[in-house]
Amino acid sequence: MKKIVFFLWIIFPVLLWAQPGTINSHTENSQVVRDLGGHHWKMKMMLPGQGVKEGLHELPPADIETNFWNPAFVPGDVYTDLWKCGVIDDPYFGRNSVRAQWVQQYEWWYAYQFNVTEDVTDQVVRLVFEGVDYSCDVWLNGVHLGSHKGAFSSFSFDINDVLRVSKKNIDSKNMLMIKLDPPPKVNAKVAGLKTPWFGDYWRDLIPFGISRTIKMVSTGKVRIMDVYANTSLNKDGSADVRMEVELENTTDQPKEMTIVASMEGKNFESKSLMEKMTQWVKPGKHIVTKTIHVKKPLLWWPWDLGKPNLYTAKVSLKEGAVNHDAQEITFGIREVSSKWNPGFKRGVDVSFPRSTYINGKFHFIRSACWGGPPDIFVGRTNPDEYKTLIRLAKEANLNNIRIFGWHPPEIPEFYEYCNEMGMTVWQDMIPLGTGNIPQDRKGINRIMQEAAAVIKERRNHPSLIMMEGGEEMLLRTQDAHFGRAFLEELGDTLQRYAKLPYVPDSPLTCEVSIEAGFKPKEAKHALAYFYGMGRWLMEDWFRTLDYPIIPEFAITSVPNVESLKKFIPENEMWPPGLSWGHHWADLDRLRMQNWDSFGDEKLGSLQEFVDATQDAQGMIFQYGVEYLRRHKPNLSGISLCHWITYWPDMKWGIIDNYQQPKRSYEFVKRAYQPLLVNLNFEKRRWHREEPFKGELWVVNDLYQSFGKSTVEMEVRDDKGKRIFSSTFNMDKVDENSAQKYFDIEADVLSKVNQQFTIHLNMKDKAGNSISSNEYLFLIGDQKEASAQFKKMGDAMRKRNAEFTYGNYFRFFDEMGRKNGKDYQSDTEHPKASEYE
């Protein structure tokens, strides 16, 4: 029935209703839903407060005036609608985002006209807003339905009393009007209710809009508001699925209702299980529960531990033979727990267990920070992009994605794709990118309400395995003890709705965190190499990291040249112009990380520079990740920073804004192999007269042991010629292990001029390659290189001292000397000689 009704809605812009007296079976029963998203929307700009004064909300429902407003699309955002209309230039291109800042000073009115021709006397009709960013007022047919603030929570209005219903076209016209307020300008005042619009990969342009779709839902007088499949595993291998169903009786009389719950496999065949109960439901909202016992459940697993088995559950609501409502959900049966990391003393080093176990198995987290949504202007994104980005993550051997507190909780499709692909999600449940949150009780309660709405909408997704409270919140808070108390209350709120591990903040190793009572080894953001560029060569810095988990490990690169052409003006392409800085290209650090990686800043051409930044990013990620993974199980997870970023920048992402993997992608793919053959080495620069020395390790995240296997090692010179080879035999590689197997020595560097590579290939007994790896080393003196790198870093800091961080004018000093004239594309690029 649903497909037929939806099809008719597409052809005819009218609302069709299934009558509540119709007798359907449990499986046939469904809600009637009309999606109000699409191209039928119109928009208009008004000065703040002027729209109501002019009476836009009072436009007659059948009036045609709104047809001649600017076209708009829902779900979406104001900037994308204006860009498509030609009102503003593409905010992603060049420095156009600066020119679009006027948009956020106005209120924007969105209008939608529709017809309702079928009688709804026995129905309850509800208008459901899945998400508006950030603040709005809603009118239907001139009647003010209400206001809402909060970008992540849904809200709804019952509309029977104001809905115009008629068989006549003119009398069945309805006018939905939404006023979007100008977005807030101070994030601290709306922390937890709106995504931060700042950070070192975005400029000061505050997104807002109708960010998710709007639906009109018809039910009987008693309706289902929420269904939660609360699963638990039993010692005998069986499972219990406790269906927690929130009902609302909209009448003033008790109703005798029959609730039927059934479940069956979604991506596998299984016997359908069903439970039924009849009880009186009083007026108002209530939660009823019914448990379905599953003797032999197929569990949901991350892709590297098993199969991501999914179930569907349907709950229907009847009064005698009359169907009132039904909802269907997808869920997985799995149990998530956390244990203490070995190697760290509880209460001395750490306050929280940071090892994640799924169905009793250790889940070593190979992750990257999502850095999303794919576009900060959500009108530019579609679900297919999500599917591509998550697929690319899995193909790069990630088993987890971390949504951290500078970004919003994601749309349903994100979690659905993660469920299906066996990717786990580690998430800050609400964005708290500032520590300076409101301290009044009313403000705190509002944040807790938003957090509850977020977790309730997402808790059925088995991919969600870890909840986090804040991102660098204590790093920035003015009151350490208030911050801790707030984060603990937030955890209590979230865990009332989902029994998942919770940690209060990240990184938890700053001075404020220590003042708040946390311990010195809680978790570490591995950002010091980038922000402190020049203080250590990469391999010296890795060895400073000794923590149970690394929620962020960051290094930057420039997108592919073809991608650059899409957002950098031609006359600023090379040498870099101001638009590079506007898109967060830190030219000093990019050049320095190239030098650390290759002994050369790689400034010969645009292509050479771009490729080098990506290879350097990948190399630093690979060598750092491998160093950290060798500390398993003391270390239980790593998250790179970032997988994506939400506009075309030149900063953290491994996949650029056009869904194009950078060259660093292949390095990450190697480093994150579940079965990883790898080298431990002390330095990357070697003298020709000394032998190369290292250690051969194998890290195995799989619950599969490997019998007799061999590792073939080759050393190749500058031209790729093999100058040394050796074979190492192993009797067994244990499951879930990290182990050193051999010391390595190769006395062949006299045959090398500037650089050499080492290649490893691990084969099973049958000769099949089961893991491979490669490394780049340089001929040079490690101590001299370290001193030179520090000298470069000191020069960088001295040159940039007069500018604040993020002021990209520091890369283009000529601007100031030219009395404000535009930067010229023929400006000489700074040379390495500056550091001499």
Domains of the chain with CATH codes: 2-219 (2.60.120.260), 222-331 (2.60.40.10), 350-665 (3.20.20.80), 676-782 (2.60.40.10)
pLDDT at 275: 95
Residues 641, 199 contacting (CB under 8 angstroms)? no
pLDDT at 664: 98
pLDDT at 7: 30
Q: Burial-class residue 377 by CB neighbours within 10 Å (0-12, 13-18, 19+).
A: buried
Residues 547, 639 contacting (CB under 8 angstroms)? no
pLDDT at 10: 30
pLDDT at 610: 98
pLDDT at 411: 97
The 3-state DSSP class for residue 419 equals helix
Distance between CA atoms of residues 228 and 458, nearest Å: 10
Phi/psi region, residue 96 (left: phi>0; alpha: psi -120 to 50; beta: rest), is alpha
Residues 737, 677 contacting (CB under 8 angstroms)? no
pLDDT at 477: 87
pLDDT at 345: 97
Report which of 263, 192, 318 is spatially closest to residue 460, judged by C-alpha positions. Answer: 263
Residues 329, 368 contacting (CB under 8 angstroms)? no
Rounded mean pLDDT for each run of 10 residues along the chain, 836 residues in total: 33 34 60 92 98 97 95 98 98 97 98 94 95 98 98 97 93 97 94 91 94 96 97 97 97 96 95 95 96 97 98 96 94 98 97 97 98 95 97 98 95 98 97 85 96 98 96 89 95 97 94 94 96 96 96 97 98 95 95 98 97 98 98 98 96 96 98 98 97 98 97 97 97 97 97 98 97 98 97 93 86 50 37 32
In degrees rounded to 5, what are phi and psi of residue 661?
A: -65, 140
Residues 249, 267 contacting (CB under 8 angstroms)? no
Tokens 């400029």, residue? 203
Distance between CA atoms of residues 778 and 597, nearest Å: 9
pLDDT at 831: 37
pLDDT at 24: 57
Alpha-carbon dihedral 818, 821, 826, 827, rounded to 10 degrees: 40
pLDDT at 269: 93
Question: At residue 547, what is the residue type?
Answer: Y
Instruction: Report the alpha-carbon angle 313-318-321, nearest 5.
Output: 125
pLDDT at 799: 86
pLDDT at 821: 38
